[in-house]
Amino acid sequence: MQPAPAKVSFKEQMLQAREHAILRSACDLLGEKSFDAMTMDDVAGKVGIAKASLYKHFGSKEELCSAAMVEVLSAAQTYLTSLEPSLPAVDKLRAVVRWSLQRLLAQEMPLLPSRNSTLRSVLMANKCYADGVIQVSDIIGEWITEAQAEGVIDPDLPPIGVLYTLYARACDPVVSFLKDSALYQDEEIVDLVLRTCFDGLRAR
């Protein structure tokens, strides 16, 4: 009565697929509302399973949402490393911001945990997340100093300020303001935010 290895693998695949669906739903919901406003009933309803089942996969609401954030971070890392290394540094920076804005428009980007969230302290205690943030920051930070050495990004700006300014685009309310106005296509919104971010509001 030994189960075939393929069967075990299949069961594990199902489990992983289910967990991925849960994370995906949590991610979407965190894009719509705050961690505090989101409920486990919301998640269960969206996935289509009972709330109690969620707790077989994740120990708590905090664990579930942390896992969702780690997955987003992982997707960002994958995108970063997929970029052609020979591209000019500033182009890579633009590409990353563009990627963030597109995910934000697709409502697949949980709003970054500013102080306006109970999730923040939990996330910062999560080693997976904290390490991921450091890795991403190292890669982007290198591109920033590179672009500043080339004189493309303003060398007078502190690199950490540039980094945070780029991060902040991933939860810029301008995107939802413009989206709600229904005046522009998604791609136009992305272009506008990219332009004001890199070129500023003043005429050149």
Distance CA 40, CA 26 (A): 9
Residue 68 in the binding site for a second copy (CB under 8 A): no
Q: Is 139 in the site for a second copy (CB under 8 A)?
A: no
* Non-local CB neighbours of 5 within 8 Å, separated by 6+ positions: none
Partner whose footprint covers residue 60, from DNA, a second copy, none (CB < 5 to 8 Å by kind): DNA
* Residue 1 interacting with DNA (CB under 7 A): no
For DNA, the binding residue among 24, 45, 46, 62 (CB under 7 A) is: 62
131 binds a second copy (CB under 8 A): no
By the rule CB under 7 A, 46 interacts with DNA: no
The C-alpha atoms of residue 103 and residue 109 are separated, in whole angstroms, by 5
Contact 108, 31 (CB under 8 A): yes
- Identity of the residue, 58 or 143, whose beta carbon is nearer to a second copy in the bound complex: 143
Token pair of 171, please? 């939860």
Closest CB 22 distance from DNA, rounded Å: 9
Distance CA 31, CA 105 (A): 10
Q: How far apart are CA 194 and CA 139, in angstroms?
A: 20
b/e per residue, 111-143, with b = 16+ CB within 10 A?
A: bbbeeebebeebbeebeebeebbeebeebbeeb
Output the furthest CA–CA distance in the chain (Å, rounded).
Answer: 75
Q: Is the CB of 1 or the CB of 115 nearer to a second copy? A: 115
Residue reference for tokens 């199902």 = 14
Binding status of residue 51 toward DNA by CB under 7 A: yes
**Which residues in the 75-94 window bind a second copy by CB under 8 A?**
90
Q: State yes or no: residue 10 binds a second copy (CB under 8 A).
A: no
Q: Which of 24, 34, 40, 71 binds DNA (CB under 7 A)?
A: 40
- Minimum distance between the CB of residue 194 and a second copy, rounded to whole angstroms? 10
| 49 forms part of the interface with DNA (CB under 7 A) | yes
> 62 and 122 in contact (C-beta within 8 Å)?
yes
Footprint of DNA (CB under 7 A): 15, 18, 38-41, 48-53, 55-57, 59-62
Footprint of a second copy (CB under 8 A): 32-34, 36-37, 90, 111-112, 114-118, 151-155, 157-158, 160-162, 164-168, 171-174, 176-178, 181, 183-184, 192, 195-204
